[in-house]
Each structure stands twice: as C-alpha cells, then as structure tokens.
Amino acid sequence: MRITFCQGVLALAIVINLLILYYVSRLQQRMLHRHRDHVQPSSRLLPVPQRPGVTIIIREFEDFENYVPDVVQSFLKQKPEQPVMVAADTLPYPPLVLLDAPNVQLVILKPAPDQPAHVCRPEMYVKTEYVALVPDGVKVDSTRQLDRMLEEFKANQGRVQMVAAPVQSLAPLQCLNLKVSLRKWTAEYSIAPSTRLCTALKGDAVILLRTKDLFNLSTPLAKPLLTSLFIQTSLRDWTVRILDVSFSSAHQPLLSSSHNQWKAENRAKASRLQLFRDFGIKRVLLEDGKQQWFGCSKDTPRCFGTVHDDTPEYLYQNRWTPPCCLQALRETAKYVINILETSGVRYWLEGGTLLGAARHQDIIPWDYDVDLGIYLEDIPNCDLLRNVESGSIVDEKGFVWEKAIEGDFYRVQYSEHNHLHVDLWPFYPKNGLMTKDTWMDHRQDMEFPEHFLKPLLPLPFAGFTALAPNNYRSFLELKFGAGVIENPEYPNPARKKLDKGK
C-alpha cells in the first residue's frame, strides 16, 4: 500500500500534535507540583529595606483632634528629607493636612476595591532599615534624639530587639514584664524586675526597631499599637530597652476637652477589646493585680461550638479550654454538687472529671464538661431532677436543668445562653455492679463494682471538696486503662494528640 504525500503530512501533523499535547500536560503537572511546594509562604516575600536611617511611623491619633501635622513638621524641621509615614485605618476626617513632600506618606490600611494590593500595605512604603513608632503630640528638639536612639540600638544589638525613648508626660513610662500563653488564652503583665529591660511598656514612648522585624509580625500596626506590638514580641522573647534619651510632648494632656478625652478612651477600649478577640486572649492579668475577662459569660454563648469526635475546636488551634469556660464549669459543678448534697442525692466525680481531680485537683485543662455519677434511686430526692422529666427548668440562679435528649441522663447548663454543662449519669446497683440502661460510645462508660462507692470519699476538686469513689486509682485504671493518671492524653488521640514536648 502506498502512502500519498498528503497522508504522510497528515500523519506527521497528528504525531507532532500528540507530542505537544503530552509535553504541555507534563509542564502543567510540574507547575502544579511546584505550586504546591510553594504553598508554604516564604518570608522572602517581605520587601528588604536597604537604605540606612529611620522612617517615622505615626499610627495612633484621633481624627477629631490630633497634632500629627505638627509632629511631622517637628521631625522635618530637624531633617527635611526625614521619611515619615502616617498610617490610618481609613481616610481621616476632618482631613489631615500634611506637608506635600515625597518623603511624607499617608497610608490608608483599609483595602480599596479599585486599588492594587500594595497600596494598603504599609511595609511597601518603608525604604529604611529602621522604623520609629511615634505617638501623637511628640516634639523633637534636636536631630540628636533619633541618632542617639539608633546608636543605642546598635550598641545593644543582639541583646534587645527594640529601644524606647520615653515621651515626657504626666505618667512616667513603666517597664513591664509580659507573659502571654496562647494555649491558656492569657496575658499576664507584671512590674519588671529591671527598670530598663522590659518585655512590655506602659505609657508613651518612641520605639525604634528594625523594619524587617516590625513587618515580620503577623499584624505590625494593629491598635492599640503598643499592646498589640508587645503581645506579639513577647511571644518571640524580644525585649525592649528604655533609654536615657527622651522626647517632649507639645500638648499635655493631648486632648483639649474632657469630651474628646472620653471619646478617645472609649475608642481605645473598643480597639483593645477587638485586639484581644483577634488574638484569642480571654483573660488579662494587669500589673496591679487586677483581672480582666474577655471571654464568655452567662449572657453569651460558650466560646466553642459543638464538639465533634470528643475533640473541641480549640485543641486543633493548639489551645486548651478557655479560662472563662473553666471558671464557668467550676462554678456550675460546685453549684450542682451543693444541690445534690443538700437534697440527699448520692453522687461521685466520674470519668474525665475524676481523672482531673486525681491528677491535679481540678478540671483537666482541656476538658469541656463535667461528669458526675448519681444513684438512680436518689433522683426523687431532688425537686429539680424530679420535675425536669416534664421539660427543662431555668432555676432561680439561671442554671438550666434538663433531661438530655441523647440518652437517660441529666444536664445542668451554665445558663440559657451559655451551654457549658455538668452531666449527671444515673446508675443503679445490680448483683454488686453499678449499671445503667443506655450507654454512650466511650471506653469509660461501663459497669463497675459498687464497692468503689462504699464509702464515697472526699477529694479536693476545683476549689472545693467533692465526693469520689474510694480507691479512685483502681476505679480510673479499670475505666481508662493502667497508668492513666500519670499519662495525660487528649480525649481522642486519633484526631488530635497531646504534644508532650510543650
């Protein structure tokens, strides 16, 4: 058979087409792989500021009354080419009248749908190796101030990541120690042992640091600026050194009227609340010993959603039970136990709750409810438990009692809004064993010899004394396995394992 020239060309074309197709698909796959390798973000994306010197950043000021143009002027008077960046969440109103110079930038941090990405990214505007965070109202008296800060920074290189020059004001700058535990949702401030080396500051200061350090923080310019800055830096073990250099303030107090002060204080409070929410900090211990809570309460839903596979959402975030939830659980447990005791219902700490009491006399730090066993035959002794058969009851203290829909047990919720709860599991004795009629799909939900309950023994728990099975070690090892007290583990290690290194 003869192949015509045309047929030959056609065959060749088909073969070439196939080859191209194959090559393109290979290329696509390779690119896909490469793309996957690059999903891990790289800090090489950060712009590297090369120019020597310092950029002034003014971030915190009020729209309705501020001295930002004066602050800018005062720096430019010393050095006309001084780079200055004023950063605001939205376009200030009334408008900020800034000097029209190429080294003075107003940056709006709020994304704009018609603008390219870099426009709202402050790091794109800073070309110098260092930045100085400057509060509103600061007045510069000589070029030496900034230069000396820089000299001091270099002299302390490697030992501190920031240096601070106090701004003379009514309250002196305080050197604080800040310990943040994200796992415990907690920030603890205390007076630093040193007057110079601090991990947080309270008061007004000009803070100088490396540009690449500031913009490598997750949120470099969040407000309140110093609160946000020091939470992030203390988690990186950075320190700030207070210098002898200081700045004066042109206006003391900064805001002229008490109305404006009140307005500013309210805004500061709101931004602090938002910051702690964003950072997941629910309990703050202040340097004066006062405590502030930013978590759930009786009037809010609990801080975590429905628990799947015994693994609450916070464990996946490498966090433990929020401290407000632990407090609410302790309070509910104490309340319920008091009612059981006074109404003559025999109860005992059960399951994970008993385990926590055995380990450290408290709720396990990652647990999300409290379990108590009760004698079924004692239920009629307690009005609330008896009456709840016909529907849930909100008692005089706002706790909600209900018969659980999931099975034959009772549940007492912290409040109507907040569903943190204590579960009551009724058991009855049968041939020397404690048993019940419905079982949950948990290893520890099993029959056990009644002798563990004869007698019940007091055990310190959550700040009070509760009753527990005698010989609780054997009781727990029977239910959970040998060594369970000494070897903590998350409730469902197949889903999330406890990182024992930390």
Ligand X SMILES: *[C@@H]1O[C@H](CO)[C@@H](O)[C@H](O)[C@H]1NC(C)=O
Taking Cα atoms as reference points, which of 298, 319, 285, 331 lies closest to residue 462? 331
Residue of 43, 90, 306, 431 that binds ligand X (CB under 6 A): 43
| Residue 129: CB minimum distance to ligand X, A | 12
| Residue 498: CB minimum distance to ligand X, A | 24
Pairing of strands 200-202, 197-198: unpaired
Helix (H) or strand (E) holding 270: helix 258-279
Of 168 and 216, CB closest to ligand X: 216
Q: Pattern 393-432, binding to ligand X, x per CB under 6 A?
A: ----------------------------------------
Contact 333, 460 (CB under 8 A): no
Binders of ligand X among residues 157 to 216 (CB under 6 A) are: 212, 216
| Residue 496: CB minimum distance to ligand X, A | 24
Residue with tokens 């950043």: 57
Of 161 and 177, CB closest to ligand X: 161
Give the strand order in the sheet containing 291-293. 200-202, 174-181, 186-191, 283-285, 291-293
Residues facing 85 on adjacent strands:
57, 105
| Residue 212: CB minimum distance to ligand X, A | 5
Residue 211 DSSP SS3: helix
Instruction: Report the C-alpha gap between 154 and 9 in whole angstroms.
Output: 73
Of 43 and 90, CB closest to ligand X: 43
Query: 58's torsion region: left (phi>0), alpha (psi -120 to 50) or beta?
Result: beta
State which residue has the least CB distance to ligand X: 216
Helix (H) or strand (E) holding 2: none
Of 210 and 442, CB closest to ligand X: 210
Contact 50, 68 (CB under 8 A): no
Residue of 18, 46, 99, 112 that binds ligand X (CB under 6 A): 46
Size of the site for ligand X (CB under 6 A): 4
Of 181 and 216, CB closest to ligand X: 216
Q: Is omega for the bond preceding 301 within 30 degrees of 0, making it cis?
A: no
Handedness of CA 164, 69, 98, 62 (dihedral sign): positive
| Residue 46: CB minimum distance to ligand X, A | 5
Handedness of CA 14, 15, 20, 26 (dihedral sign): positive
| Residue 300: CB minimum distance to ligand X, A | 33
Of 3 and 45, CB closest to ligand X: 45
Instruction: Report the C-alpha gap between 133 and 385 in whole angstroms.
Output: 60
Of 161 and 169, CB closest to ligand X: 161
Binders of ligand X among residues 309 to 328 (CB under 6 A) are: none
| Residue 134: CB minimum distance to ligand X, A | 23
| Residue 325: CB minimum distance to ligand X, A | 29
Of 27 and 46, CB closest to ligand X: 46
Handedness of CA 195, 198, 201, 205 (dihedral sign): positive
Residues facing 175 on adjacent strands:
201
| Residue 132: CB minimum distance to ligand X, A | 19
Handedness of CA 107, 112, 117, 121 (dihedral sign): positive
Report CA dihedral (206, 212, 215, 217) to the nearest 10 degrees: -90
Report CA dihedral (455, 461, 464, 465) to the nearest 10 degrees: 10
Should residue 492 be labelled a site residue for ligand X when binding is judged by CB under 6 A? Answer: no
Helix, strand, coil percent content, the chain, rounded in steps of 5: 35, 25, 45
Of 43 and 306, CB closest to ligand X: 43
| Residue 283: CB minimum distance to ligand X, A | 24
Of 89 and 213, CB closest to ligand X: 213
Taking Cα atoms as reference points, which of 96, 98, 33, 87 lies closest to residue 59? 87
Contact 298, 414 (CB under 8 A): yes
Of 1 and 48, CB closest to ligand X: 48
DSSP 344: T
| Residue 211: CB minimum distance to ligand X, A | 10
Of 43 and 142, CB closest to ligand X: 43
| Residue 183: CB minimum distance to ligand X, A | 17
| Residue 446: CB minimum distance to ligand X, A | 47
Of 51 and 386, CB closest to ligand X: 51
**Residues lying near ligand X in the complex (CB under 6 A):** 43, 46, 212, 216
